[in-house]
């Protein structure tokens, strides 16, 4: 982005006179003083830590200007300042202004599972024909979405935005902020059920993504999900469904899994075989959602095929990597919920291996009072003839441990507290061979990425 301070001050209704700095040019926006680039506008957000206390670090790292909340006083004098009521609301207002200024078409994506992978697939397909900006990392909330918008280059034609939620009203706000041309819901699962109580209420919250959908926009959703079928009847905009049923507008007609990828065909282009570098029919579903976007923007099947084959995937989402012993590791350590675990387990246990299949699972967080029951319910995904060893981490995983004891021998089961990841890593390294395959999955708060790092860098 490039914007003079005078334009920014007017957009956010600055409370102070910035005439002395009005020609200062801003080239980026950041709320983390450690990661901003020279020329950035620093946004001191007030949360667990108050961003205002990091102003000196922001200046040291090259901030060209800063927002400053009026209730904080002690306005800095050694950097151009825009005084605002609320730094977060100012960031959001600025992003809305910039979005209208650049005026790309917007694809907004949410879902209990698959939204990040679908985002990557949609962006890859659109990039064959348009200049695309997409959400990076996990910048998918009321802070991250504005930052994503403000990261757009002026020539951006398509903005692909991932939207997360953990409370009612969050997607309503984000949808109205970006006013999508296309809104996608990948699926409804149990993620964040602690805050919502039931899948019905999760579906209600996910449907908020259509609240800002343009009148001539398109709603794309999983046509095999009854909760979405029911709610889609209240949406007046055009709709497309994807899924595994012949009734879906875009459906999979054949699928062939391999240890590292999945090929499939669709009713959309019957003579075209697609290949995604991921395992599991749930990732085919994500690809079908992306192909709905390809259909909408008339992207040729050969371009869509190449885009899916050469995906630039966000790290640690069902990603195959090689460990230090030569073992194959399916890394899925960013997030976890019951639906996601069952889906990746179904795919992993179909993966051919010369040695053993080992599974490392960490607690699934934000499941509330149902947590132990939902953890125990994962037992149906475990077959002792297909999985040689199970390593469970966290207090809620003990409920699954208790269930697995009925079918697994004692030496196949291992349990660790969250602060015993070093012991877990050592135990795995003592048994792994180059012929083995290992799945590592858990909520980000369990930090199984440290186990992954140990397996990849061990001597």
The one-digit pLDDT tens for each residue of the chain (459 residues) are: 999 999 999 999 999 999 999 999 999 999 999 989 999 999 999 998 999 999 999 999 999 999 999 999 889 999 999 999 999 999 999 999 999 999 999 999 999 888 999 999 999 999 999 999 999 988 999 999 999 999 999 999 999 999 999 889 999 999 999 999 999 999 997 766 666 778 899 999 999 999 999 999 999 999 999 999 999 999 999 999 999 999 999 999 999 988 788 999 999 999 999 999 888 888 999 999 999 999 999 999 999 999 999 988 776 567 788 999 999 999 888 778 888 899 889 889 988 899 999 999 999 988 888 899 999 999 999 999 999 999 999 999 999 999 999 999 999 999 999 999 999 999 999 999 999 999 999 988 899 999 999 999 754
Q: Is residue 115 a known part of a binding site?
A: yes
User: What is the distance, to the nearest Å, from the Cα of residue 259 to the centroid of all Cα atoms in its chain?
Assistant: 24
Q: How crowded is the C-beta side of 377, counted as CA atoms within 13 Å? A: 14
Q: What letter would DSSP give residue 142? A: T
From the list 169, 159, 168, the residue with the least C-alpha distance to 139 is 159
Sign (positive or negative) of CA dihedral 376, 378, 382, 387: negative
Question: DSSP letters of 187-222?
Answer: ---STTHHHHSSHHHHHHHHGGGGTT--TT-EEEEE
Beta-bridge mates of residue 218: 182, 238
What pLDDT, on the 0 to 100 scale, is given for residue 335? 79
203-219 residue pLDDT tens? 999 999 999 999 999 99
Q: Is residue 51 a known part of a binding site?
A: no
What pLDDT, on the 0 to 100 scale, is given for residue 192? 60
CA distances from 425 to 7, 360, 422, 431 (A): 53, 10, 5, 10
What pLDDT, on the 0 to 100 scale, is given for residue 138? 83
Does the structural domain 104-309 have CATH classification 3.40.640.10?
no
From the list 413, 424, 412, the residue with the least C-alpha distance to 448 is 424
Residue 386 has which token pair?
């297909």
Pairing status of strand 218-222 against strand 132-134: unpaired
Beta strands in 191-327, from DSSP E residues, in sequence order: 218-222, 238-243, 250-257, 262-266, 273-276, 319-322
Q: Domain 3-85 in CATH: superfamily? A: MurE/MurF, N-terminal domain (3.40.1390.10)
Q: Is residue 47 a known part of a binding site?
A: no
Specify whether the CB–CB gap between 105 and 157 falls below 8 A.
Answer: yes
What does the domain layout of the chain look like in residue ranges? 3-85, 104-309, 319-457
234: number of Cβ within 10 Å = 8
Beta strands in 31-97, from DSSP E residues, in sequence order: 40-42, 65-69, 81-84
**CA angle 27–29–33, rounded 5-degree value:** 115
CA dist., res. 35 & res. 284, Å (int): 36
54-65 residue pLDDT tens? 999 999 999 999
What pLDDT, on the 0 to 100 scale, is given for residue 41? 98
19-36 residue pLDDT tens? 999 999 999 999 999 989
Spell out the alpha helix ranges (H) of 324-446. 338-348, 371-376, 397-404, 421-431
Q: Is residue 116 a known part of a binding site?
A: yes
Beta strands in 121-171, from DSSP E residues, in sequence order: 132-134, 158-162
Q: Is residue 117 a known part of a binding site?
A: yes
CA dist., res. 352 & res. 408, Å (int): 21
Number of residues in the chain: 459
Specify whether the CB–CB gap between 27 and 42 falls below 8 A.
Answer: no
Q: What is the fold, at CATH topology level, of the domain defined by 319-457?
A: 3.90.190
What pLDDT, on the 0 to 100 scale, is given for residue 315? 66
91-150 residue pLDDT tens? 999 999 999 999 999 999 999 888 999 999 999 999 999 999 999 988 999 999 999 999
401: number of Cβ within 10 Å = 17
What pLDDT, on the 0 to 100 scale, is given for residue 279? 85
Q: Is residue 310 a known part of a binding site?
A: no
Specify whether the CB–CB gap between 156 and 178 falls below 8 A.
Answer: no
What pLDDT, on the 0 to 100 scale, is given for residue 459? 47
Residue 327 has which token pair?
């073992």
Whose tokens are 């960490």? That residue is 362
**Element at 282 (helix H, strand E):** helix 281-296
What pLDDT, on the 0 to 100 scale, is given for residue 339? 85
CA distances from 455 to 67, 277, 320, 391, 430 (A): 43, 22, 13, 14, 11
Specify whether the CB–CB gap between 51 and 44 falls below 8 A.
Answer: yes
Pairing status of strand 25-26 against strand 3-4: antiparallel
CA dist., res. 43 & res. 87, Å (int): 6
Whose tokens are 């079928």? That residue is 229
Tell me if residue 415 falls in helix, strand or coil.
strand
Specify whether the CB–CB gap between 161 and 108 falls below 8 A.
Answer: yes
Residue 135 has which token pair?
């959400």
Q: What is the pTM of this model?
A: 0.85
């Amino acid at each position: 982005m490039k914007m003079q301070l005078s334009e920014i001050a007017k957009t956010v209704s600055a409370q102070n006179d910035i005439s002395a700095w009005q020609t200062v040019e801003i080239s980026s926006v950041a709320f983390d003083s450690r990661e901003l680039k020279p020329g950035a506008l620093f946004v001191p957000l007030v949360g667990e830590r108050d961003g205002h206390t990091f102003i000196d670090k922001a200046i040291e790292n090259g901030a060209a200007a800063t927002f400053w909340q009026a209730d904080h006083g002690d306005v800095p004098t050694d950097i151009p300042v825009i005084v605002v009521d609320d730094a977060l609301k100012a960031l959001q207002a600025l992003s809305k202004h910039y979005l209208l200024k650049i005026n790309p078409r917007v694809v907004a994506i949410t879902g209990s599972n698959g939204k990040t992978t679908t985002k990557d697939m949609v962006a890859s397909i659109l990039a064959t024909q348009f200049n695309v900006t997409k959400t990076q990392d996990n910048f998918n909330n009321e802070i991250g979405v504005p930052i994503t918008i403000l990261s757009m280059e002026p020539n951006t034609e398509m903005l692909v935005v991932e939207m997360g939620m953990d409370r009612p009203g969050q997607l309503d706000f984000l949808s109205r902020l970006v006013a999508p041309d296309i809104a996608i819901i990948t699926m409804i699962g149990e993620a964040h059920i602690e805050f919502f109580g039931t899948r019905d209420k999760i579906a209600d919250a996910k449907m908020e993504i259509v609240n800002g959908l343009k009148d001539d926009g398109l709603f794309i959703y999983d046509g095999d999900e009854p909760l979405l079928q029911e709610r889609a009847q209240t949406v007046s905009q055009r709709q497309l469904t994807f899924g595994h049923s012949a009734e879906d507008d875009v459906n999979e007609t054949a699928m062939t899994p391999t240890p590292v990828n999945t090929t499939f065909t669709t009713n959309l282009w019957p003579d075209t075989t697609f290949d995604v570098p991921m395992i599991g029919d749930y990732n085919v579903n994500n690809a079908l959602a992306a192909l709905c976007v390809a259909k909408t923007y008339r992207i040729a099947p050969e371009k869509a095929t190449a885009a899916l084959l050469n995906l630039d995937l966000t790290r640690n989402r069902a990603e195959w990597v090689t460990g230090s012993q030569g073992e194959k590791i399916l890394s899925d350590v960013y997030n976890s919920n019951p639906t996601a675990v069952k889906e990746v387990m179904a795919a992993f246990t179909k993966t051919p291996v010369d040695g053993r299949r080992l599974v490392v699972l960490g607690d699934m967080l934000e499941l509330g009072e149902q947590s132990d029951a939902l953890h125990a319910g994962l037992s149906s995904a475990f077959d002792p003839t297909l999985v040689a060893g199970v390593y469970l981490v966290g207090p809620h995983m003990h409920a699954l441990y208790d269930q697995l004891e009925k079918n697994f021998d004692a030496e196949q089961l291992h349990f660790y507290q969250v602060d015993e990841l070093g012991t877990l890593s050592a135990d795995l390294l003592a048994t792994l061979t180059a012929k083995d395959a290992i799945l590592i999955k858990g909520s980000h708060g369990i930090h199984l990425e440290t186990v992954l790092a140990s397996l990849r860098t061990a001597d």
